[in-house]
Amino acid sequence: MKEILCIFGTSKKKLEEQVENEKKENEELRKIIAQQAAEITESKNLIADKNAEIQNLTAIKNCGIQ
């Protein structure tokens, strides 16, 4: 009986360690995803700015102003 309890205790400890490791890994992945989301947002803003600039230049060109 003592051996069985020891085995269960060891298994429980290993599972708890695995859960902790996976929590840490998930947190790291969340940080990476957040960073990538911020980079995507920045890229979208830059694209929007460039599109606005192109539209302004096109409007100027169409008005005959150079």
pLDDT in tens, the chain (66 residues): 767 667 667 788 888 999 999 999 999 999 999 999 999 999 999 999 999 999 999 999 899 765
Q: Look at residue 64 and give its three-state secondary structure.
A: coil
Question: pTM for the full model?
Answer: 0.67
| Nearest in space to 12 (alpha carbons), one of 24, 1, 4, 2 | 4
Report the b/e string of 43-56 with b at 16+ CB within 10 A. Answer: eeeeeeeeeeeeee
